[in-house]
Amino acid sequence: MCRLIPVALIVVARLAFAQQAGLPAPSAAADCPVCPELALVPPGRSLMGSAPDAAEIDATTGEFPTVAISFTRPFHVSRREITFGEFRRYVEATGAEPAPGCRVWLGGQWVLERDRSWRDPGFAQPPRDAEPVVCVNWDDARGYAEWLSKESGKRYRLPSEAEWEYVARGGTSFPRFWGEHNSNESAVLSLACDFANVYDSSAVDVYRFPWPNARCSDRVAALAPVGQYKPNAFGAFDIIGNAREWVMDCYTASYAGRPEDARAWTWQGGCELKGVRGGSWASRPRAARAAARDAAPTALRQSDLGFRVVRDYD
């Protein structure tokens, strides 16, 4: 059984690790003028996945059996999801304009709209620089990370699925870092809106998705500016909710045989389906958990799908 470490102790551990490593603080300054602000994630060990008897387990997405993952080295993670403004600077610098065409919620279903794109994902207002970039596919996200590597001289990449879940748990073993039982679909009053932008009462009248909503209001129907909600103990904002996030791994139907380290699980020659994590502004409470997972074709662009990056520790 994975022993739960209180959040307060995780914060102390992060501070101590930073001091021992000679770093100024757990949240590192950006590596370059166009680089995102980073948080330092300490080494440790954590369970990945859900137990077979977990209350909210989704048996269709392969979030089992649990695997104890070892993180022998620290790493950095972007504190926030990559924003529209950050991605725009990448496109302007490189000319790597993603092709148009993005799936948006229309008429009670996700529909591919050929004239939608990361520049116009179909919301009531044009995207703001501080909002997560969406309507980007896996290659778009990887291209941005490779550009950061060239700009900074550091190694940026998409997170492995294990790294993503470790960050999302924020030093806890809870389904959501803010509480063990809070914010599931039976919660009478949810705390989710203090920590995450998910499908809640603010969005019901606008979207009327055919699934349960969180019983709270964050006063935002769709995307929210990054960093608007409370971070977890690792200093990561919006790790659950707001935009779903690409990871490096090929999608697998279960964790059976998974390596017990933080490497991305990929195949030689590549794969058509990549992992997607975190839930979004459109997600029901059950899909907005640290262990919840999904898959998407690498070419998918959708108006609730973005990414964040990690950087190897020097």
What Rg value do the Cα atoms of the chain yield, rounded? 18
- Which of 177, 141, 81, 193 has its CA nearest to residue 299? 141
**Domain-located, residue 119:** yes
Is residue 118 a part of any domain in this protein?
yes
Query: Does an H or E element contain 249, and which?
Result: strand 244-250
Q: Pick the residue with more confidence: 186 or 165?
A: 165
Q: Which domain holds residue 96?
A: 7-312
Q: What tokens were used for 170?
A: 């924020």
Torsion of CA 201, 206, 207, 209, to 10 degrees: 30
Q: How many Cα atoms are found within 13 Å in the side-chain-facing hemisphere of 97?
A: 7
What would the 3-class secondary structure string for 256-284 be?
CCCCCECCCCCCCCCCCEEEEECCCCCCC
Is 131 contained in some domain? yes
- Tell me the whole-structure pTM to 2 decimals: 0.91
Total domains, the chain = 1
70-79, 89-98, 172-181, 305-314: segment of lowest average pLDDT:
172-181
Q: How confident is the model at residue 5 (pLDDT cuts 50, 70, 90)?
A: very low
Q: Strand, coil or helix: what is 226?
A: coil
Flag whether 1 is in a domain.
no
Task: Kindly give the interhelix angle for 138-152 and 84-94, rounded to the nearest 10 degrees.
Answer: 70
| Residue 101, pLDDT score | 98
> Predicted confidence band at 26 (pLDDT cuts at 50, 70, 90)?
low
Residue 2 forms part of a structural domain: no
pLDDT for 27 equals 58
pLDDT in tens, 230-261: 999 999 999 999 999 999 999 999 999 999 99
Backbone phi and psi for residue 272, each to the nearest 5 degrees, phi listed first: -85, -30
DSSP labels, 290-312 = SS-EEEEETT--BTTEE---EEE
pLDDT in tens, 246-304: 999 999 999 999 999 999 999 998 899 999 999 999 999 999 999 999 999 999 999 99
**Cα 97–chain centre separation:** 23
Residue 171 falls within a domain, yes or no?
A: yes
Residue 77 lies in a domain: yes
Q: Look up the CATH number of the domain holding residue 270.
A: 3.90.1580.10
